[in-house]
Structure 1
Amino acid sequence: MARPTDPALRGPTPLPPERAAALSGLYAAATGRARRRTLAGFAALAALALLAAFAAEVRPLVFLENIGKFTAYLEQIWPPVGLEHPLADLRAWYWGLPGWLGLLGETILMAYLGTLLGAVAGFAFSFVAAANLVRSPALRFLAKRFLEVCRTIPDVVFALLFVIAFGLGPMVGVLAIAIHTTGALGKLFAEVVENIDMRPVDGLSASGASWVETVRFAVLPQVLANFASYALLRFEINVRGAAVLGFVGAGGIGQEFLAAIRSFYYGDVGAILVMIILTVIGIDLATEQVRHRLAGPEHDR
């Protein structure tokens, strides 16, 4: 059979040995530099981790010596439910279920209301903090710094301040969660706004639309799904946070949980802890389904 005359059908032409050796040397040098940079990065990361562990007084040997105390505590709060009388044991274990459910509902409502207020405030500040919508550097600077203050100070600190000002109660938890959520969601919302398609914005601005009209008709349709998804995720986080805020007098199940820990009521500690875990799991599963629906069919693929 005759060899094809078309050069494209003959396959690649082999390089001269000198040229192939030169290219191989360049490739080896490039991959060697990349490998050395990667190793240097890992070495620096390991050194920083060791330095941080030393500064934080991390003692692995002490941890290993005292791990038995931790496992012993877990055994003490393990549910005292046997195989002989499981229903009776379960009723005895959850002797305070009606009151605990009321406090757990209070915790969920605290998280819900705090998340709602924080999401509304973060929604408003996100557009002001977005560089592609606000041209004033001073206005953007003030908005971003305000959001940083809100999310930098822990919600527990806010709760302590509000307890001193307003006394004990769920309102303290709502305010603390709302302020911290404002900072967290405001930053996430602003990043979503900064990544939108600017062509609708430019089109409305060129037609004479006001800033509010531009945000309403060109920005909101692009960001609402992501805003709702982030808000739902934050609600799940705030349910856990609301349980912790009860430790400082913000009401809810956390206050009863702390009282059980301080009183060494191991059975109550285990029962309340299981309730909190199951609640967070249920909220996580529900919000996950809602987030997937908001993301659309592209997310499922």
Structure 2
Amino acid sequence: MLHGYRAAGRGARRRSLVTAVIVAALALLSAHVAEVDPARLWTHLGGFLNYFDRLLTLESGGGRVWTDPGEWLWGWKKWGLLLADTLLIAYVGTALGAIGGFLLSFVAAANLVRNPWLRGTARRVLEFCRTVPDIVFALIFVIAFGLGPVPGVLAIAIHSMGALGKLFSEVVENIDRKPVEGAVASGASWPAMVRFAVLPQVLPNFASYALLRFEVNVRQASVLGFVGAGGIGQDLIEAIRKFYYNDVAAILLMIILTVMLIDLATERLRHWLIGAMERPA
């Protein structure tokens, strides 16, 4: 028995070693193909770190930015309004995307729709929406609608619809089938079956995923401003291009603090929703 145990252990270690060697070889091959140069990275590491040092150094006086908050955060009112625009862009885009993903998720679920053409069409639409980067959608809509928040809202809505539709459909496919079978046996129509047998089971998870997506979209809305899609990203990219280091640091600080607060609030709300779902009626 001991001999068999040792042999099994040697086999597992051998497989782990072979797997590690294969992964390392693939990583080296990928680095070679991508022309990754560790020596160049090491040479320019100082400049990379120096950039962040410049962000935290006042342009006048050479002290650290936190020693003179008045000069550092001189534009906080203007940036605050732009940050509010970013939050609204993320909120409206998430809401529209959640509605679209909600509607398509039931059609894309294999346990609710037996028609492979209808189900496949819904899935392909969701795949297209989440595969194309939202910044590409934003560039297209900026050309179509001009600068402003509308391109950002549309880009976030389309990408969120694809991502949330996929997550929602997976939740639907893991529901308890007994209420569905009972609704069908009683003669309920397909919409009525979804409304009374499926929706009560999935709604808390849907809300949880939508809140998580809102967190992601706040960050994305900041980036979409780089291409003129509204929000604080427009001022951030302008400060980066003009080497206004203190402004870059101040804007990044405001974005980071805002995202942290949103993360804390939505995390508590998600946990409450999951707990509400698990509590007996």
TM superposition score normalised by structure 1: 0.86
TM superposition score normalised by structure 2: 0.92
How far did 1:297 drift?
A: 7.2
For the Cα contact (< 8 Å) 2:90–2:153, is it kept in 1? yes
1:280 matched residue in structure 2: 259
Q: Distance in 2 between matches of 1:223 and 1:258?
A: 40
From 211, 214, 239, give the equivalent of 2:193: 214
Q: Distance in 2 between matches of 1:243 and 1:176?
A: 13
Residue-by-residue CA offset, 1:1-42 (whole Å, 9 max, x unaligned): xxxxxxxxxxxxxxxxxxxxxx44444444433333333222
Residue-by-residue CA offset, 1:198-217 (whole Å, 9 max, x unaligned): 11111111111111111111
Output the amino acid matched with 1:41. T
Output the amino acid matched with 1:43. V
User: For 1:238-257, what aligned pairs fall within 5 Å after superposition?
Assistant: 238-257=217-236
How far did 1:70 drift?
A: 1.2
Q: Distance in 1 between matches of 2:18 and 2:91?
A: 46
For the Cα contact (< 8 Å) 1:79–1:93, is it kept in 2? no
Rg comparison, structure with higher value: 1
Q: Distance in 2 between matches of 1:50 and 1:127?
A: 43
Query: Does residue 1:46 correspond to 2:59, yes or no?
Result: no
Unaligned runs of 5+ in 2: none
* SS of residue paired to 2:110: coil
* SS of residue paired to 2:50: helix
From 68, 71, 96, give the equivalent of 1:117: 96
Query: Does residue 1:33 correspond to 2:3, yes or no?
Result: no
Q: Distance in 1 between matches of 2:53 and 2:208?
A: 38
Residue-by-residue CA offset, 1:124-176 (whole Å, 9 max, x unaligned): 11111111111011111111111111000000000001111111110000000
Output the amino acid matched with 1:165. A
Query: Does residue 1:72 correspond to 2:18, yes or no?
Result: no
1:195 matched residue in structure 2: 174
1:270 matched residue in structure 2: 249
* SS of residue paired to 2:68: helix
For the Cα contact (< 8 Å) 1:79–1:270, is it kept in 2? no
2:75 matched residue in structure 1: 96
* SS of residue paired to 1:53: helix
How far did 1:230 drift?
A: 0.6
User: For 1:99-248, what aligned pairs fall within 5 Å after superposition?
Assistant: 99-248=78-227
Output the amino acid matched with 2:18. A
What's the RMSD between the two structures over aligned residues? 2.1
How far did 1:246 drift?
A: 0.4
Describe the shift of the 1:87–1:46 C-alpha distance in structure 2 as closer, same or farther (beyond 3 A).
Answer: closer
Output the amino acid matched with 1:45. V
